[in-house]
Amino acid sequence: MNQLMTASYHIETIGCQMNVYDSERMADHIESMGYQRANAVDAADLVIMNTCAIREKAEQKVFSYLGRLAPLKRRHPELIIAVGGCVAQQEGERILSRMPHVDLVFGTHAIRNLAQHIETIRHKRRRIVDVAMDGGAILEAPNAASAALERPSRFVTIMQGCDNYCTYCVVPHVRGPEASRHPDDILEEIRTLAHSGVREVTLLGQNVNSYGLKEGMCSFAELLRRVDQVDGLQRIRFTTSHPKDLSDELIRCFSDLGKLCGHIHLPVQSGSDRTLKRMNRKYTRKDYLNIINRLRSTRPDIAVTSDFIVGFPGETEADFQDTLSLVERVQLDGMFAFKYSDRPSAPASRFPEKISEPVKKQRLQVLLDTQELITRKKHAALVGTRQEILVEGFSKATVADNPTEPRTTPPWTGRTPQNKIVHFSDGNGNGPALAISVGKLVWITIERAFSHSLWGRPVERELDMPSAKGDHSDAS
Ligand code: SAH
Ligand code: SF4
Ligand code: F3S
């Protein structure tokens, strides 16, 4: 393949963490062709948009972004525009007819063909659609060597697709059936990442709890036990867990594994059994409450977050009240809440009794307000405690977020094992700045609580105190 010494690329990613991971794979492929990352989209010779179809809004975002690329292409006809991800999979050919300036549409299983397609387009100026679903999404071993040292926390996709067919959801239709990667490949990727400085991995799947079961390879809990052994790695997270498949074996990992963070994202979607049934979620409100009790008795400090959909077709005020009472009862650490959005390939789009937009909007607001009070209360309870933070970089938080903070240096940011965002500065204004750098574990005393983050100060002389074996940081 010709090496392109000066060509540059830009990847625009929307959607979930899996898309973030996939975009990294796309970058690996095109960098191996000689493309370099562009400083800005209008300086690029190749623009890839990695898309999301989960709600109508996400899809609209794709088409408005692509629309804005048309004048760029007129000014720079050599520009190659490629559309990948879930909207590409869903729309295929239709993207080419709707967007005459797009050169390539490649689906969720076609990432490994990306370089070859780009090469063909460069030489033959042909338009290509590749939306075959042949399982090629994760069969290749990704090039983990591209791990950037400045990003100590990385995603690792352990499975593709979904077999659950929740009635509102587009994912099984655009990502295909569930399939798990071989544990040895996953372990190899994580070892390479850890070796190049990565300290935390988040294992990704639409439902990690059913990892490996179909293939009879190994259970998710067994995989976690193996990942826990990786030298140099300090923290393990995973997402997403489906409540129906959360095993006792997995719950035990929260007490047994030193590197497993005390946080679980466990989407419930609704607190009404009637709605859960019509969503095809296969658990009840009581099952969910029961799981939360088991998790908390195994790991008392575990943080629990969840996803909710309001305004599912047929959702009555009483159903919504059931959701609110579940939220009050569980006392979650945080939530993502969405207004139900019709997806044409999902059966709920044909369910009667659609909920009006104003009602959806009002329910969403009430739900978010209810959670906000709970989150604030939980955050306030952390003031005065010491928390272990993995330093991820400089904070974007502004002085306005915390006007009393002495601003000798830009504030750092990182997360607690419970996934709470903490900002802190490395000096107290009176003495030399303490040695903090990206990728270190530091102990912070929490001093102030906000609704989305916490502010704190390093615990003196306890910097870089590791929580687990295998600390490879270079603290002196
Ligand atoms: N596999 C994960 C989540 C996938 S999508 C799981 O099972 O939980 C992320 C979230 O988007 C879902 O949890 C759900 O809350 C929301 N979502 C999915 N489809 C939606 C739709 N049609 N309308 C609104 N929200 C939706
Ligand atoms: Fe969608 Fe349900 Fe699969 Fe999650 S488990 S991806 S919500 S079908
Ligand atoms: Fe969106 Fe596809 Fe993820 S639809 S949420 S990018 S799996």
Confidence of residue 262 (pLDDT cuts 50, 70, 90): very high
E strands along 97-169, which residues?
104-106, 128-130, 153-157, 159-160
The pick from 11, 20, 54 for probing ligand 3's pocket by mutation, whose C-beta has the most ligand atoms within 8 angstroms, reads 54
The CB-based long-range contact list for 19-24 (8 Å cut-off, 24+ gap) reads 19/50, 19/51, 19/52, 19/85, 19/86, 20/155, 21/155, 21/156, 21/157, 21/204, 22/50, 22/84, 22/85, 22/108, 22/111, 22/137, 22/157, 23/48, 23/50, 24/142, 24/146, 24/155
* Whether pLDDT at 200 is above 60: yes
Using the mean position of ligand 3's atoms as its centre, give its distance from the Cα of residue 250 in Å. 25
Is 371 within 8 Å of 335 (Cβ atoms)?
yes
Nearest residue to 25 (alpha-carbon basis) of 4, 11, 38, 8: 11
Position with higher pLDDT, 253 vs 146: 253
Side-chain-side CA neighbours of 176 within 13 Å: the count stands at: 18
Residue nearest to atom 1 of ligand 2 (CA): 169
Phi/psi at 65 (nearest 5 deg)?
-65, -45
| Mean pLDDT to the nearest integer, 400-421 | 73
Is 147 within 8 Å of 193 (Cβ atoms)?
yes
Kindly report, residue by residue over 103-133, the tens digit of the pLDDT.
999 999 999 999 999 999 999 889 999 999 8
| Residue 340 near ligand 1, beta carbon < 6 Å | yes
Mean of per-residue pLDDT scores for the chain = 89
pLDDT of residue 411: 83
pLDDT above 90 covers what percent of the chain? 80
Domains of the chain as residue ranges with CATH: 4-130 (3.40.50.2300), 138-261 (3.30.750.210), 294-379 (3.30.750.200), 386-464 (2.40.50.140)
* Whether pLDDT at 410 is above 70: no
C-alpha to C-alpha distances, 467 to 234, 258, 337, 384, 464, nearest whole angstrom: 8, 8, 33, 19, 9
| Mean pLDDT to the nearest integer, 349-365 | 97
Using the mean position of ligand 1's atoms as its centre, give its distance from the Cα of residue 199 in Å. 29
Kindly report, residue by residue over 206-239, the tens digit of the pLDDT.
999 999 999 998 999 999 999 999 999 999 999 9
Is 160 within 8 Å of 16 (Cβ atoms)?
no
* Whether pLDDT at 140 is above 70: no
* Whether pLDDT at 468 is above 80: no
pLDDT of residue 151: 86
Residues 6+ apart with CB under 8 A from 114: 26, 29, 30, 82, 84, 106
By residue count, the chain amounts to 476
Nearest ligand to the CA of 18 is: 3
CA 30 to chain centre: 23
* Whether pLDDT at 474 is above 50: no
Kindly report the pTM of this predicted structure.
0.91
Side-chain-side CA neighbours of 255 within 13 Å: the count stands at: 11
Residue nearest to atom 18 of ligand 1 (CA): 169
pLDDT of residue 6: 80
Terminal CA-CA length for the chain: 46
Query: What is the CB < 6 Å shell around ligand 2?
Result: 162, 164-166, 169, 171-172, 206-207, 242
| Residue 15 near ligand 3, beta carbon < 6 Å | yes
Nearest residue to 230 (alpha-carbon basis) of 469, 473, 475, 476: 469
Q: Where are the alpha helices (DSSP H) in 157-209?
A: 171-175, 183-195
Kindly report, residue by residue over 381-392, the tens digit of the pLDDT.
999 999 999 999
Nearest residue to 351 (alpha-carbon basis) of 365, 364, 362, 340: 340
Q: How far apart are CA 47 and CA 244, in angstroms?
A: 40
Using the mean position of ligand 2's atoms as its centre, give its distance from the Cα of residue 280 in Å. 10
Is 399 within 8 Å of 405 (Cβ atoms)?
yes
C-alpha to C-alpha distances, 320 to 130, 274, 353, nearest whole angstrom: 42, 11, 15
Kindly report, residue by residue over 167-195, the tens digit of the pLDDT.
999 999 999 999 999 999 999 999 999 99
Q: Return the ligand 1 atom nearest residue 207 CA.
A: 1
Is 458 within 8 Å of 409 (Cβ atoms)?
no
- Cis omega (within 30 of 0) on the bond before 375? no
Nearest ligand to the CA of 137 is: 3
Is 212 within 8 Å of 248 (Cβ atoms)?
no
- With vertex at residue 224, the alpha carbon angle to CA 437 and CA 19, rounded to the nearest 5 degrees, is 65
Using the mean position of ligand 1's atoms as its centre, give its distance from the Cα of residue 103 in Å. 30
The secondary structure of 119-132 as a DSSP string is: HHHHHH---EEE--
pLDDT of residue 430: 43
Kindly report, residue by residue over 287-309, the tens digit of the pLDDT.
999 999 999 999 999 999 999 99
- Exposure string of 23-32, with b = 16+ CB inside 10 Å and e = fewer, is bbbbbbbbee
Q: How far apart are CA 457 and CA 332, in angstroms?
A: 26
Confidence of residue 142 (pLDDT cuts 50, 70, 90): low
The pick from 16, 165, 312 for probing ligand 2's pocket by mutation, whose C-beta has the most ligand atoms within 8 angstroms, reads 165
